[in-house]
Structure 1
Amino acid sequence: MPRASRRRRTGRWRRALLAAFVTGAVVIPLSAAAQPEIPAPVPAVLPPLTAGTLEEVYAANRANAAEASRMAGADGDDRRAAADRGMADPDRDFLAFDGRGSGQATEVFGDLAHADRVAVLVPGSDTTLDTYGRFRATALNLHRQLTRDAPNSRTAVVSWLGYDTPRTASGTVLTPTRADQAAPHLREFTRQLHTITGREAHIALVCHSYGTVVCGRSASGLAVSDIALIGSPGTGVDSAAGLHTPARVWAARGADDWVGGVPHVSADLFGTTVGFGTDPVSPAFGAQVFAAGGVGHSDYFTPGTASLANLARIVLGATSEVTHA
């Protein structure tokens, strides 16, 4: 068979597979994904974020979380009340908290005011205040790895749930809509981080799953040193150069990650752009591909894994020590 014919057949097969994948998600009744609105106070009025206002900001967000817990409990939502109550713990530090709806929160691990290396974790689908504990665990594991690897360094980790993540069982997860909505907020947040830490601080974005789409949409103009894409369905661009960033771009996927079976293509279906294009771990994308070992989609931050070790090296700037796939 001529090469051109093979390419056309492959393209048709990919588009058909993507269409079937999309249709399977879109036909799920959207009403099934709807959740009752959870009562919560409006977010606290905060002072401008600076190193000097951090304690005031943390205290205001704890108080807001405590009130959100009280309101959720009064409404009979014990699960959300417990989640909010945990966030009101005096040992926890939040730069932002909004208990309304699915919720948003930005938590700090470490001394952010004096950090010269900061990792910002950007989560994927199904991350809400109700499931936040899983996301928090990834941040804790990375922070512990950084402390273990470089005990004398000044590092901090920030878990940024700063957008309304899509549900996996919905068509939204296959489009860039939520990522486009999130991008200006992530750009503004990185600007605020530099206000807190100083312009010389190194910020690395660690983006997981649909969070890699958010990072792809945000990358242009971000003052970050590194962007790490893990478990990515694609970024919405054809290559790392298409991100228009001076940052080092990294990518990894575990051997047991189901995302490897997702069609890495993009198509216009039903009047909507669906899919996210080139696989970031493919040579065609042009990222620096690092070893992740045999981890599954939710296991990149598991202690003892090659993925976590390499992510810590990227955040620390020890790029010569990163092991490659």
Structure 2
Amino acid sequence: MHTLTLPTSTTMLAWVCTRYGGTDVLRLRTLPRPVPGPRDVLVRVLAASVSSADMRVRTQKLPRGFGLLGRLAFGITRPRQPVLGTDVAGVVEAVGRAVTGFAPGDAVVGVAGVAMGGHAEYCLLPGTRPLVHKPARLSFVDAACLPFGGLAALHFLNKANLRAGESLLVIGAAGAVGSAMVQLARHRGAHVTAVCSGGNVALARALGAQAVIDYTEEDFTQDPQQWDVVADTVGASSFAACLPRLTEHGRYLAVAGSLAQVLARPRGTRRSIGGPAAERPEDLQTLMDLAQAGVLRPVLDCAYPFADLPAAHAYVETGRKRGAVVVALP
């Protein structure tokens, strides 16, 4: 059992999303530093991802059908939690009296999830949230690359029950989710075909894809080949469009799908799998173990200084990032 040791300062810098809109709604403010409860861990943030989830909350550009649900979940006129940021890597600053397994000074990786709060100098993680020790071989920036895409990829591969020898098509293979899914599927022994732009073909092959389709040159829906699983990580297709490309008992993974894709009914033996990805501590540990073993490679597009977080948001909004975008703190 650890006693609670509070930092000497009671404030912190944090990026606040004052309302929904463009990057101009982000403001750097001084806020009270969170105080851990009995089962909480306070992390001094050294790197935090700027994910598509952060961009969607800020802009409310959500998949079709989720507009009203998004406002109800995040806030009607402005974000209920103004400090965005779902994933952090840093050092434990203080722990609650009931916390075991973590102590001040530990290097950790944590997932705040929909509670957010990662785009600040300090992030409070309740005991129910995923928090694991950072692999020694990863920098804090590299570690912050993995949770958002890795947890979603692992969740959907588990839901699809992807097995060795099966075939998988990954749409958006160069993104945060797609790049993790290619690697995790190859580790399971699946045959992976990646769909990406021509500029990302080399990356997809380096991550383990045995075949690559450049979507600027070829429409995979017109390809005569079929796959056991088709994973759309960017919302570029639909269950109906991919039906002819699915084998019997094939699964379509609507990772970034519309409400209609999430609710789509099975067509014969083929089915669509959607919904939010689980964020479980054991899954985060699995990702970190694979990263430590060299099986899962962080894909970092770029790291921005914390002061340039609006620029990181703007880049993510272009939809052209490769892997993850991270902000680094001194």
Same fold (TM over 0.5): no
TM norm structure 1: 0.28
TM-score by length of 2: 0.27
Answer 1 or 2: higher relative contact order, Cα 8 Å, separation at least 6.
Answer: 2
Greater helix content: 1
Q: Say which structure is richer in strand.
A: 2
